Amino acid sequence: MNDKNDVIEYYNEIKPMLLNANIIVSDYNLIDYGLQFKVLINGFSATIRVFQNKKGIIKIDYSQIKDDKLAKKIRKVLEEEITIDKHDLKDQQQIEDIYPIIGIDESGKGDYFGPLISAAVFLDKESAKKLKDFGIKDSKKLSDKVNIDLAYKIFEICKGYYSIIEISPDKYNTLIDQMKKEGKNVNILLAWTHAKALEEVLSKVDCNTALSDQFGDESLILRKLQERGKKIKLIQMHKAEQNIAVAAASILARARFLERLSNLSKELKIDLPKGASSKVIDVAKKFIGMYGKESLRKIAKLHFKTTENVYKI
């Protein structure tokens, strides 16, 4: 079923991405099965359409962009079609047919509200094929509803060979404060959650290979691994979400994040948006008005620059 709210949320997510790339973006207009908006760069204007197909997957229609250079730039921003260097391409080809494998990914890292979630998923050749048939792909390319629906498919097919690690906003802020005093950054925390998720899966099943997106020095995750993890070959590479195991992990992490954010919204009687947009700032200020400044640490990641704008009078 088509849901206009999904495409509107997607527009709200991609608009700041385009603005950060110095592309001017207009407000959207609703059309059949989706919405459309204008982009402007170097005096050239074009229309982009966003729609949701019958399977609930968000699609972008670039057919109205007549300038090839503009189309290429927008695709690069929205679909992360950045050229993979030879080393990454070689790694990608090497891991495509490696089974069994454990994929690791996270969600909530770029969201001001809500927890940080990391997930790990074990796949053998048979389960990987089943997930591919269901259309598993990087969670960032799927609507919220599809992410949640596909998470249940992963639960069913992977039969418990997965792990989800969750750090609440309050605990997250406490850990970040502690790490700052030690001269460390958020990547250390992220590495710990990845390592913990991997270790939990390894406690359930034997596997020799794991794959994670590269978000910092390769040694970060390795140093956090315990006895089981130190025996595994851990591959870290850019665009790892192209692999089915990492894509599955990204979906589990995102679905759990969305569930927790929804629960927080219901509990606090305030709609907590995703991301770190101007809408997020407005909602944070409203929340402070309702519950007080000190309560913000229980729902938000305070080290974001967003906090500075929230506290401005």
Query: How many domains does the chain divide into?
Result: 3
CA 222 vs CA 25, 245, 253: distances in Å: 42, 19, 21
The whole-number average pLDDT for the span 144-165 is 94
In a domain? residue 189: yes
Whether the pLDDT of residue 86 is over 60: the answer is: no
Look at residue 217 in the predicted model and tell me its pLDDT. 56
Task: State the Cα–Cα distance between residues 128 and 243, nearest whole angstrom.
Answer: 10
Look up the CATH number of the domain holding residue 41: 3.30.310.240
- What tokens appear for 237 in the block? 């590479």
Percent pLDDT > 90 in the chain is 47
In a domain? residue 152: yes
The whole-number average pLDDT for the span 203-207 is 92
Q: Which of 54, 79, 104 is the last residue of a domain?
A: 79
Distance, CA of 11 to chain centre: 16
Whether the pLDDT of residue 108 is over 80: the answer is: yes
Range(s) of the domain holding residue 148: 86-259
Query: What are 267-287's pLDDT values in tens digits?
Result: 999 999 998 888 999 999 999
Q: Residue 53: which of 18, 9, 6, 12 has the closest Cα? A: 6
Whether the pLDDT of residue 94 is over 70: the answer is: no
Same domain, residue pair 90 and 167: yes
pLDDT higher at 109 or 58: 109
Cross-strand bridge partners of residue 123: 101
pLDDT higher at 266 or 226: 266
In a domain? residue 161: yes
The whole-number average pLDDT for the span 235-263 is 92
Same domain, residue pair 127 and 240: yes
The whole-number average pLDDT for the span 185-207 is 90
Q: Residue 167: which of 103, 86, 108 has the closest Cα? A: 108
Same domain, residue pair 155 and 276: no
The whole-number average pLDDT for the span 85-109 is 69
Same domain, residue pair 140 and 249: yes
In a domain? residue 124: yes
Q: Residue 123: which of 101, 106, 150 has the closest Cα? A: 101
Look at residue 81 in the predicted model and tell me its pLDDT. 34
Same domain, residue pair 224 and 116: yes
Q: Is the peptide bond before 100 cis (omega within 30 degrees of 0)?
A: yes
Look up the CATH number of the domain holding residue 218: 3.30.420.10
Same domain, residue pair 60 and 91: no
Look at residue 220 in the predicted model and tell me its pLDDT. 66
Whether the pLDDT of residue 28 is over 80: the answer is: yes
Write out the H or E segment, with its range, that includes residue 237. strand 233-237
Look at residue 230 in the predicted model and tell me its pLDDT. 67
Same domain, residue pair 244 and 120: yes
Whether the pLDDT of residue 43 is over 50: the answer is: yes
Same domain, residue pair 146 and 57: no
Look at residue 3 in the predicted model and tell me its pLDDT. 56
Q: Which of 79, 114, 144 is the last residue of a domain?
A: 79
- What tokens appear for 110 in the block? 């770029």
In a domain? residue 264: no
In a domain? residue 274: yes
Task: State the Cα–Cα distance between residues 102 and 117, nearest whole angstrom.
Answer: 17
pLDDT band at 112 (very low <50, low <70, confident <90, very high): very high
Same domain, residue pair 239 and 189: yes
Look at residue 83 in the predicted model and tell me its pLDDT. 32
pLDDT higher at 24 or 2: 24
Same domain, residue pair 13 and 132: no
Task: State the Cα–Cα distance between residues 58 and 50, nearest whole angstrom.
Answer: 7
Same domain, residue pair 191 and 100: yes
In a domain? residue 125: yes
Q: Which of 47, 64, 79 is the last residue of a domain?
A: 79
Q: How many CA atoms lie within 13 A of 276 on its CB side?
A: 17
Whether the pLDDT of residue 231 is over 80: the answer is: no
In a domain? residue 265: no
Number of H helices and E strands in the chain, helices first, is: 11, 10
- What tokens appear for 154 in the block? 């992963």
Same domain, residue pair 124 and 222: yes
Q: How many CA atoms lie within 13 A of 79 on its CB side?
A: 15
* Helix 244-268 / helix 278-291 crossing angle, nearest 10 deg: 40
Whether the pLDDT of residue 126 is over 90: the answer is: yes
Which are the contacts of 31, defined by CB distance < 8 A and separation ≥ 6?
49, 51
Count of other CB atoms within 10 angstroms of residue 94: 11
Whether the pLDDT of residue 82 is over 50: the answer is: no
Instruction: Name which of 77-81, 178-182, 187-191, 245-249 the model is least confident about.
Output: 77-81
Task: State the Cα–Cα distance between residues 123 and 20, nearest whole angstrom.
Answer: 36
